[in-house]
Chain A
Amino acid sequence: SAVISQKPSRDICQRGTSLTIQCQVDSQVTMMFWYRQQPGQSLTLIATANQGSEATYESGFVIDKFPISRPNLTFSTLTVSNLSPEDSSIYLCSVDRQGAAEAFFGQGTRLTVV
């Protein structure tokens, strides 16, 4: 298994500001994934973060709004920029293990934009 520590667990932010979410894994992983879970909805993949390269964004998500860093094989950050109430969601970090065919998730960050 993988232990994922995600910070902060929750935050309330003002419109127009930004929030950076940190994801720390207890072992080295190639890929890290960022998901968004809007209220009452399922999880949607925002982007895939590989160490040493630009993140790959899914349709509907752009780097200017969701910049991602991946400085090493155990850590990543997701920033949600220029916040609006529509960004109020749970953001989850996920990793998988090579050959394990299983994704592990952090506890999530509950963001409320006021």
Chain B
Amino acid sequence: AQSVTQLGSHVSVSEGALVLLRCNYSSSVPPYLFWYVQYPNQGLQLLLKYTSAATLVKGINGFEAEFKKSETSFHLTKPSAHMSDAAEYFCAVTGGGNKLTFGTGTQLKVEL
């Protein structure tokens, strides 16, 4: 079985500041991990994914995440926040199958 914990349901950063969204996972098998973004009134868009290749994964819009097995973490970062990054972010895990288990989401607010 898999589960995901996202620490912080709301995160607020200043424009230009570092974005760090935390995700910890639990999986009984080697996991595949994902970050999705959801803009208001829209579906989910994949930011990046880890599928057992490189542990540092680069995604779209300048986001990246590092898979750390020892910490069971897959935190999402972006060096410099932009106003357009304001959205809800979901971490998700699958055990290599098709069913995604999602975290509870983190609402990112970017302030001037």
Contact = CB atoms under 8 A, between A and B. Distances in A.
Nearest to A101: B51
Interface residues of B, number: 19
Contacts of B46: 102-104
B41 A110 contact: yes
> What's the interface size class on A, roughly?
20 to 34
Contact of B104 (A4, A31, A41, A101): A41
Contacts of A48: 98-99
Nearest to B101: A45
Contacts of B100: 33, 43, 45, 94, 103
A103 B33 CA distance: 11
Nearest to B52: A101
B54 to A, nearest CB: 14
Interface in A1-52: 4, 6, 31, 33, 41-45, 48
Interface of B: 32, 34, 36, 41-46, 49, 51, 90, 98-100, 102-105
Interface of A: 4, 6, 31, 33, 41-45, 48, 92, 94, 96, 101-108, 110
Given A44-B102, A45-B100, A107-B43, 8 more contacts: A41-B105, A42-B102, A43-B44, A43-B100, A92-B44, A105-B45, A106-B43, A110-B41
